[in-house]
Amino acid sequence: KYILAHAQDLAIREAYVEAALKEKLEVVSKPKIKVAEGEPLNFTAIVAIMPEVEIKGHKDIKVPLHEPKVTEKDVEDVISQLKKTSTIYKEVDRNAKKGDRVEVDFEGFDGEKAAANTKSQNHPVILGSNTLIPGFEDHLVGLKKAEKKEFDITFPKDYHKKDFQNKKLKFKVELKMVEEAIEPPIDEAFVEKVTGKKQSVAELKKLIEKDIHARKTEEAKTKRESEYIEALLKHTKIDLPEGMIADELDYMIDEAKHDLEHRGVNFEGYLEKAKTTLEDLRKKYLPEAEKRIRIRLALQKLIKEEGIKVTDADLKAEITKIKSFYPEAEHAKIDGDLAKGELKFQIISRLSLRKLFEKVLV
């Protein structure tokens, strides 16, 4: 029985592929096979084919280019962050103040009963960083080492743990240590420490300004491309096949599963905890699935209309660039991935899109 079923499956696949090629069908979804009873073997395959994509007036789309500006504050913010990473802390015997790093024992109480998951010992915190419950750190300011204190705290209404939202608890704390922040002076020694090169402070600031400008330029470019795509959709008409949408939803569900499993979360457990179902999730993802398909088909149509071509030289240069980001020991793996085809397809798609934007966003 198994052998017969396997043989039938092979025959259906071969006949389906032959029929699709003969009719020159541009299939865009998995076929739904319905086998008729009796002999000889007779089956019906229902598939979605590439829909007609109609784009009108896209030549009129204009998306302005905003030249990014780097302010003095942008540069100073980066230097301030560099100072923080190079700051050292020294224990002091005085009252704690904002900016100090302290260690504290604490526990929350609901009436006389200790509240679950509110206890911590030697908990480190920089006063004024607002990493603890709003208002908590303010109660630590002014305390000295070994000093104890009790105070009430009401958790925010949007607190990430629902059981604590708007809940009022009494906290008992004991300060275990106070450390004073010692920030490094911004001089050539500091510059050499963070860059590994002997440079002046002025040269460091120019380097930071250049990096910020490059980042803001890339952000502006990405934003402009996104705005163009949104405008393009308004000029595009596509009647999406149900099978194509179903396949996209399957892909999105698989993405969600993979992401959750990567974080050690069981997918079925997630659905149960979120009080939702697979069908509800598909309904939630439906608008995004349809938009993804429309964007993909519209861009493919435009790439074809604009005559965008990726040459062997383009591909070779991009592969060389990709390899430059990896140690030579990993180049063989990249070549192996390229031989499989998927990576090569992704690179060609990315290059085609880049060339398209270079042409339409002038």
- Is 1 a residue whose pLDDT tops 60? no
H or E segment at 180?
strand 168-182
Amino acid at 352: S
The CA angle 253-254-259, to the nearest 5 degrees, is 100
282-307: burial string, b at 16+ Cβ within 10 Å, e else:
beebeeebbeebbeebbbbbbbeeee
| Span 50-97, pLDDT tens digits | 788 999 999 999 999 888 999 999 999 999 999 988 899 999 999 999
Beta strand 168-182 pairing with 101-110: antiparallel
| Span 317-354, pLDDT tens digits | 999 999 999 999 999 999 999 999 889 999 999 999 99
Task: Select from 140, 170, 141 the least CA-distant residue to 155.
Answer: 170
Does 40 sit behind a cis peptide bond, omega within 30 degrees of 0 on the bond before it?
Answer: yes
Q: Tell me the C-alpha distance between 162 and 130, whole Å.
A: 20
Task: Select from 37, 29, 27, 33 the least CA-distant residue to 13.
Answer: 33
Q: Tell me the C-alpha distance between 56 and 5, whole Å.
A: 49
- Is 24 a residue whose pLDDT tops 70? no
What local confidence, expressed as pLDDT, does residue 160 receive?
86
Q: Tell me the C-alpha distance between 168 and 150, whole Å.
A: 13
The string of DSSP codes covering 92-157 is -SS---TT-EEEEEEEEEETTEEPTT--EEEEEEETTS--SSTTHHHHHTT--TT-EEEEEEEPPT
The least confident of 28-32, 226-230, 273-277 is 28-32
Q: Tell me the C-alpha distance between 243 and 46, whole Å.
A: 9
Percent share of the chain, pLDDT over 90: 74
Q: Enter the pTM of the model.
A: 0.72
Task: Select from 240, 118, 98 the least CA-distant residue to 178.
Answer: 98
